[in-house]
Structure 1
Amino acid sequence: MSLSGCLGVETTPEKSAARARSAANAVSHQEGLVVGRPNASVRVRDAAMVQDANGVAAVVRFKNMGSVQARLPVGITVRDARGSKLYENDEPGLDASLTSLPVLGAGQEVEWVDNQILVTGRAAKVSAVVGAARGRAPRGALPKVVVGGVTAGHDADGWFAKGTISNMSSLVQRRIVVSCVARTDDGGARVVAAGRGVIDQLASGGKPAPFTVFFIGDPKGAQLTCAAPPTVLAGGTQ
C-alpha cells in the first residue's frame, strides 16, 4: 500500500533541508559586525597571528587607558603577503565572542583570541580595531575569574592546554571564553600558538572546574598565559 501524498509526512532528508533553509533564512536577516568609530580609550597594543593545517588564530592585545567598559566590538582583518584580504570577522551569524570583548577593566590589559579563521593560502598579517562600548559599565568591582594550573600537552588531536577555572564571584558565568596564548621566551615574545575554549556555564562559589583548549600552532617550550574575562557582570549578561 502506498501512502505517498496522503499524509504529508516529512522524511528525514526533508526535515534536514527544512532546518537548513530555516537556519539560512535566520542568518540572512542578521547583520554582520560593524565596529564604527574606534574607541578613544582602548588601545590595540599588539596584533599577531599563527597558522597551521587547522587554520589561523589571531591574537589581539588590548589596553584600556580609561574606565571600565563592557561589550566592546572587535574587528579583525587577515591579509596575505601582498596585502589582499583573506578574512574579516564581519560575516553574519558569528558567535558574539568572535566579534567582541565582554568587559575590560580600568587600566586592564588583556589578550583576545579568534581561532575560527579558515583561509585559502598563506596569511601574513592581522590588524584589529576596537569600537565604542555597547554595554552598561557595572558598578563596583568586576566578577573575579581565576585560571590556574595550566600545562601543555599533546595527543592524537594535537597540542592543547589544560588547567582549572574558578568563578570567585556570586554570579553564575555563562558562555565564558578561556583564551590561551603561547609565546617564546627568547626576548621577542613571539606568538607561536593560540587557542580558546567556551564554557557554557561556570558555577559561582570558587570551585575549580577543568578546561581544555586546543591550539593552532606549536606551544612546545613556550610560555603559556590563559585568561577568561567574566561575561555576566551584574545579574545578567551585559
Structure 2
Amino acid sequence: MYFKPIRYRTRSYLRDWYSYYIKYKLRSRIQLDSFSIVMRVPFGQMALIEYKIINKYELEIIEPEKAEKLLRLVYPWRRREFKQYFKNNSVCLVGKKGDQIVSYGWNSIGKVDPKIQRELDLNIPMGPKDIWGVDIVVAPPYRGRGVGFSAFQHVNDYWKAKGMEYLYDCVSVRNRGSLKLHKRVGFKPIYIHYLHRWFGFQKSNLMPIDEHSISLANKAAKGINIGFLWK
C-alpha cells in the first residue's frame, strides 16, 4: 500500500494498478513461494532516535469515521483494503507534519489482522497485550528523513502507555531495507514463515529460528545479504 502522487499522472496510475492486480493479486493466487521473517520487540526497549527528529512529527489515531482524509491519499483499489482493516478493528496510526500526512501504519491488538491471516495463512501465538504491526508506509517526499524511526518511536510510546508488551511484524526476506530498519529499531527474529501456493493448493509452515530455517531463508533471499539478522 503506497501513497498516490500528489499530481495525477496516468503512467503512475497504470503502474500501480498493474503492480497491485497483476504482479501481486493474480500472481500470488496462481503461484507463490514466499519466505518472511516474523520479528518482535518489547515496548520500551526500542532503539531511541534523536529527539529533534521525533519532535518534527506528530501521531494521530485515525478512527473509521475520520478515515476519509486518509483514503484520499491512496488509489481506489487500495481503499478497499483500508476499509477491511477498519472492519477488522485494526488501528490506523498516522504520522503528521502540521496538516500533512507523511506516514501511516496499521496495528491490531492481540492477534494477526484477519485479512493478513487469510492471505498469508499466518497464525502467530500472541497474548492480549501484544500488538501486530501490518505496515508502516512513508510518503515519497519524506523518505530518508527519519520518518520510519519516528513512526516506530511514536508507536512505542502510544502502546507502552496503554500497558502493551510486544510489537510483532512480518517482513519478506527480499525486503532488505525494511529488515535493516527493523533490526536497527530492536526487532529480533522469532520465526521464519514459508508460504507455498499453486493454483488453489496452499501450504504454510511456521519454523523456529535454527540452522535449517536460516539456511532456507538465506537461500530464498536470492543473493540479498540478510546475514545481519542472525547476529
Instruction: Please give the TM-score of this superposition, normalised by the length of structure 2.
Output: 0.28
Instruction: Please give the TM-score of this superposition, normalised by the length of structure 1.
Output: 0.28
If each structure's strand is expressed as a fraction of its own residues, which one has the higher value?
A: 1
Greater RCO, CA 8 A, separation 6+: 2
Greater gyration radius: 1
